[in-house]
């Protein structure tokens, strides 16, 4: 019986050591063999064997030398950027943005395509993805995963889009179509969830295990991270806060197919979405083409614009409060173009209002991801999965 178990032990240890070394090289590299040995606690011999093994597999490469004391200079090693690539995609009603990153996370290709006046979403995504890879100097054979951030519901079981607000041409079966077309792993992710991934990686929620992200832009949405993991719900509808019933607002009933076709706005969407924000601004003399323009002008107007921020904060606080009395997170991040336009002045008002109407008092801050959070969240999601695949197969 012992003979059936023991051979796996050295293999497992090698895999763990290899992964630890690769993570160190990603986060702190370039490093010498001696430095890797010191940081991992491995002997010089074992560290040298580890580096040779990873170098043979094309996962690390020599990138220079480090001058030392007596004797020859030590070789410096780093993760081979081209050992794998990923592509993240931000899909909106008017455009598709695709970016290609190497396994180190460096973005080396980016493409933007219009989605207006097209009946072929697969074709638009295909063009953007392939062109992003080409722009990065590679091709689809090295792209291990494509993650698309999209509005709407993503079924956690099948990974399919079950309904996409603003994207009527997106439908069940699209995932299989894209996988066949691109000949690689393709994954859908809800756009606000992708923004939360970016926030937890490089934004205001970095290092925070429990937080919620409220998106205020063209629409409203929510992502909740519990113990470091996104909570999607049994059907992928967790976070569809636009349908939160709100007293004083019309609550649509018997939604059925009307909602999935985009024909009905939920109560919270009707009081906090872009149209509502522009209506608030108009009431106080502020007008703009986009809701974010209205809020930005109100902030810049100083005291004259405060009524706009007060009313908007009061409405957003209803959604934040409803979420926080259930989840009780220590942190709420306001994201989306309307939130960014409101800045710290809006965040402070929302925080104070939530504290005044509930028993919870979460810190409310503005997003720390200044640009393209959905795209960056999609890239981080893809990189996490591909690093597990590539780094986890080092002893295969």
Q: What is the pTM of this model?
A: 0.90
How many CB atoms are closer than 10 A to CB 157? Answer: 8
Alpha-carbon radius of gyration of the chain: 24
Task: Quote the pLDDT of residue 165.
Answer: 67
Contact assessment for residue 396 and residue 213, using Cβ atoms and an 8 Å cutoff? no
Task: Quote the pLDDT of residue 359.
Answer: 95
Main-chain dihedrals φ then ψ at residue 287, nearest 5 degrees? -130, 150
- The sign of the torsion formed by the CA atoms of 86, 155, 365, 348 equals positive
Contact assessment for residue 210 and residue 225, using Cβ atoms and an 8 Å cutoff? yes
- The sign of the torsion formed by the CA atoms of 263, 268, 271, 275 equals negative
Kindly give the parts of the chain with pLDDT less than 50: 1-8, 257-258, 260-261, 395-396
Quick one: the chain helix, strand, coil %, rounded to 5?
45, 20, 30
Distance, in Å, from the CA atom of 228 to the CA atom of 48, rounded to the nearest integer, reads 35
Task: Quote the pLDDT of residue 69.
Answer: 63
What is the 8-class DSSP label of residue 31? B
Alpha carbon of 356 to those of 64, 142, 236: distances in Å? 59, 53, 31
Contact assessment for residue 333 and residue 320, using Cβ atoms and an 8 Å cutoff? no
Task: Quote the pLDDT of residue 93.
Answer: 82
Alpha carbon of 222 to those of 5, 170, 212, 251, 333: distances in Å? 47, 21, 7, 19, 10
Of 124, 28, 139, the residue nearest 85 (C-alpha)? 139
Task: Quote the pLDDT of residue 265.
Answer: 79
Which residues on neighbouring strands pair with residue 61, listed in sequence order? 78
How many CB atoms are closer than 10 A to CB 137? Answer: 13
Q: Is 335 left (phi over 0), alpha (psi -120 to 50) or beta?
A: beta
Task: Quote the pLDDT of residue 10.
Answer: 76
Residue for token pair 């990065």 = 136
What is the 8-class DSSP label of residue 83? G
Q: Which two tokens stand for residue 226?
A: 């519990």
* Residues in contact with 35: Cβ distance below 8 Å, sequence separation at least 6, in sequence order: none
Task: Quote the pLDDT of residue 184.
Answer: 94
Number of H helices, E strands in the chain: 14, 14
Q: Which two tokens stand for residue 285?
A: 């003399």
Task: Quote the pLDDT of residue 66.
Answer: 83
Main-chain dihedrals φ then ψ at residue 269, nearest 5 degrees? -60, -40
Which residues on neighbouring strands pair with residue 225, listed in sequence order? 211, 230
- Classify 185 as helix, strand or coil: strand
Task: Quote the pLDDT of residue 29.
Answer: 80
pLDDT tens digits along 113-170:
988 777 787 788 899 999 999 999 999 999 999 999 998 889 888 898 877 766 766 6
Contact assessment for residue 129 and residue 90, using Cβ atoms and an 8 Å cutoff? no
């Amino acid at each position: 019986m012992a003979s059936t178990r023991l051979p796996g032990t050295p293999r497992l240890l090698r895999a763990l050591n290899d992964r630890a070394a690769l993570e160190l090289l990603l986060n702190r590299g370039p490093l010498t063999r001696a430095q890797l040995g010191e940081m991992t606690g491995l002997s010089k011999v074992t560290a040298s064997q580890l580096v040779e093994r990873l170098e043979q597999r094309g996962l690390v490469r020599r990138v220079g030398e480090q001058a030392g004391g007596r004797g020859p200079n030590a070789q410096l090693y780093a993760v081979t950027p081209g050992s794998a690539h990923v592509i993240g995609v931000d899909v909106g009603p008017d455009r598709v943005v695709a970016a290609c990153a190497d396994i180190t996370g460096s973005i080396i290709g980016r493409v933007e395509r219009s989605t207006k006046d097209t009946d072929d979403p697969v074709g638009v995504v295909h063009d953007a993805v392939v062109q992003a890879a080409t722009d990065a100097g590679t091709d689809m054979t090295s792209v291990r995963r494509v993650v698309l951030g999209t509005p709407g519901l993503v079924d956690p079981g099948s990974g399919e889009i079950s309904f996409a607000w603003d994207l009527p041409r997106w439908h069940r079966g699209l995932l299989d179509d894209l996988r066949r077309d691109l000949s690689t792993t393709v994954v859908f992710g809800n756009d606000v969830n992708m923004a939360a991934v970016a926030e937890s990686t490089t934004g205001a929620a970095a290092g925070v295990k429990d937080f919620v992200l409220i998106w205020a832009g063209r629409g409203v949405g929510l992502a909740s991270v519990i113990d470091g993991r996104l909570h999607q719900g049994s059907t992928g509808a967790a976070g569809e806060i636009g349908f939160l019933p709100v007293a004083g607002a019309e609550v649509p009933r018997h939604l059925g197919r009307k909602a999935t076709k985009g024909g009905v706005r939920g109560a919270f969407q009707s009081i906090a979405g872009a149209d509502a924000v522009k209506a608030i601004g108009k009431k106080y003399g502020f007008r703009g083409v986009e809701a974010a323009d209205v809020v930005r002008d109100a902030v810049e107007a100083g005291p004259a614009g405060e009524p706009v921020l007060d009313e908007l904060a009061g409405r957003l606080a209803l959604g934040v409060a409803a979420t926080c009395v259930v989840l009780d997170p220590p942190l709420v991040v306001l994201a989306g173009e309307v939130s960014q336009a409101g800045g710290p002045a809006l965040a402070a008002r929302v925080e104070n209002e939530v504290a005044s109407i509930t028993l919870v008092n979460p810190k409310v801050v503005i997003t720390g991801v200044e640009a393209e959070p959905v795209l960056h969240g999609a890239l981080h999601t893809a990189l996490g999965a591909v690093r597990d695949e590539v780094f986890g197969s080092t002893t295969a």
